[in-house]
Structure 1
């Protein structure tokens, strides 16, 4: 596959600031630090702000994102960590379950960039995490930023689309005429 290039979308721009939560598992500390460096640089380049929280492992990342979504106020999330294949099937469990949980949160409307590396060995992880190489942390942040931009674009379209519930026209007419009824 040498010579095949990857297309990268242009960085989105925002009318009002964005705030992201980076949730990282520092199980492999040096790799996690590189992922975070790439993610924070991408968020800052887009004019965004970020907070960082650490959790014990990849399986706890989606749970932390779910808690933050219910109890805090973030526009999006960046999931960062690394799972390196070992001698048991635990690798498949961690990879599949963390990825599936993040995907389910995304399908519920959360804007999440998934930067949890799933690799065969440490050498692969180092290349993928390094900001001056594959920069998967920056890529995960970029994905979250693009989803936030889409959410804001489509979230603003609330009038004139689809059908209104019965009686809605009366309430809208009363609001526009200034009359109020109890």
Structure 2
């Protein structure tokens, strides 16, 4: 069992300027979510950072909320939290795969995201992973976001925008909007 294995953990990054992180949680399993948030909050505070917590209906909405926050706010990074427990239908696979894919796509666009959405077979597995005094996967997700923020700051700071980057050539934009065709 993975919980009996010893794992290496990177040292907590240090920051010249405090970080501001948005924790986005899907509290479908409320007690699990509370433990995940407690672990994430403690890790962010231990690094001298600040955080805000928002709730969304489910794990599928977590990536959308992060994308909206990135476009409309000023967070350095994000922590995605929630829990998906296998049920009797394939809905589990859809929620696990699509929430993870959404977070990965945002991360590939440069957002600093720690993914703490648990995907488990049963409630006992979820509790063991979520418990702040146990495996503390919420704290681990926050640590991942902190490490990514540290890398982003090291390599040049934040870039805004999620999705396609508009052309910065004003002549091209002006010409296109008037229907000018140079051909």
Give the match's secondary structure for 1:56. coil
State the alpha-carbon separation in 2 of the partners of residues 81 and 108 from structure 1: 22
Aligned to 1:121: 122
Partner of 1:154: 155
Structure 2 counterpart SS, 1:79: strand
In structure 2, the residue matched to 1:80 is 81
Q: Partner residue of 1:172? A: none
- Partners of 2:61 and 2:129 lie apart in 1 by 22
TM-score (norm 2): 0.84
Give the distance between the partners of 1:155 and 1:40, measured in 2 at CA: 26
Larger Rg over CA atoms: 1
Deviates more, 1:91-100 or 1:147-156: 147-156
Q: Secondary structure at the match of 1:43?
A: helix
Provide the TM-score with structure 1 as the length reference: 0.84
Q: State the partner residue of 1:38.
A: 39
CA deviations over 1:116-158 (Å, ceiling 9, x no partner): 00000000000000011100000000000000000000016xx
| Structure 1 spans left out of the alignment, 5+ residues | 157-182
Q: Give the ranges of 4+ consecutive aligned residues of structure 1 lying more than 4 Å apart after TM superposition.
A: none
SS at match of 2:34: helix
2:114 match: secondary structure? strand
Q: How does 1:1-182 map to 2 (within 5 A)?
A: 4-155=5-156
Distance in 2 separating the partners of 1:155 and 1:131 = 33
1:21-55 CA distance string (max 9 Å, x none) = 00000000000000000000000000000001000
